[in-house]
């Protein structure tokens, strides 16, 4: 069986740096890019939020310049972010929903509702060789819309599935399976992410045709105990 790709999201390394208003240069994001790479990560994922609460424009520029592995830039589906992606040229872009007041991404992008807008953005990015995925809930309508706007992959929001219990969790899992199968039928890659830890990552491996997961908060938190290298290496082993 082929190893599932691991994208390490380093947003919360930047959160620790920015918590003092950007007055410190530590923790050094590039150091943790190197540690993640050394531990076997397949890509670095960074969410450049509109309010710049953690990742900064300079982080995107520097990580793309110095990382030895591909960079996946998560961003809102806006003209501002599209211009920045075209400027810095990450290998991948993942379009995500974004609300200023949320603590973290609470759900999937409504591609159906924003179809025309997203289609134009993906066309611009694709012309520059940037592959675009959509971060969506497990919903076949959103999968179909993602195909129609030109995405190459759907990343399914796993946060609700991780938190749900009992029958509710089982129902969400069935929705994930159905959406993943439909995604594959439409020749789109199947990705997953949000809220995953060691235990839930072992379980998500059963999702049909899963090729990639993106994990951040848990890995950074685990890294406070033994170092990010160890937490990423453990996750890489799970995904083999």
Residues recognised as catalytic: 47, 74, 194
Q: What is the rounded CA–CA span in Å between residue 214 and residue 181? A: 19
* Closest to 223 in 3D by CA, of 6, 9, 18, 69: 9
Helices 228-239 and 217-226 meet at what angle, rounded to 10?
Answer: 120
For the record, the structure tokens of 223 come out as 């890294």
Cβ distance 227 to 35 under 8 Å? yes
């Amino acid at each position: 069986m082929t190893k599932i790709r691991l994208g390490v999201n380093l947003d919360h390394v930047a959160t620790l740096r920015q918590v003092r208003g950007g007055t410190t240069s530590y923790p050094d994001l590039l150091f943790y890019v190197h540690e993640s790479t050394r531990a076997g990560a397949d890509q670095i994922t960074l969410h450049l939020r509109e309010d710049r609460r953690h990742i900064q424009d300079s982080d995107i520029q520097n990580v793309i310049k110095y990382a030895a592995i591909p960079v996946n830039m998560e961003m809102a589906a806006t003209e501002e972010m599209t211009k920045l992606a075209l400027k810095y040229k990450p290998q991948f872009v993942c379009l995500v929903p974004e609300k200023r007041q949320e603590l973290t991404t609470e759900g999937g992008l409504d591609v159906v509702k924003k179809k025309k807008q997203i289609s134009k953005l993906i066309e611009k990015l694709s012309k520059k060789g940037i592959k675009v995925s959509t971060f969506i809930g497990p919903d076949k309508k959103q999968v179909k819309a993602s195909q129609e706007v030109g995405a190459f992959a759907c990343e399914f929001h796993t946060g609700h599935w991780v938190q749900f219990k009992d029958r509710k969790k089982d129902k969400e899992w069935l929705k994930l399976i159905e959406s993943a199968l439909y995604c594959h039928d439409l020749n789109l890659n199947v990705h997953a992410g949000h809220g995953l830890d060691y235990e839930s990552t072992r379980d998500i491996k059963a999702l049909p045709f899963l090729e990639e997961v993106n994990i951040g908060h848990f890995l950074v938190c685990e890294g406070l105990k033994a170092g990010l290298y160890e937490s990423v290496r453990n996750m890489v082993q799970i995904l083999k």
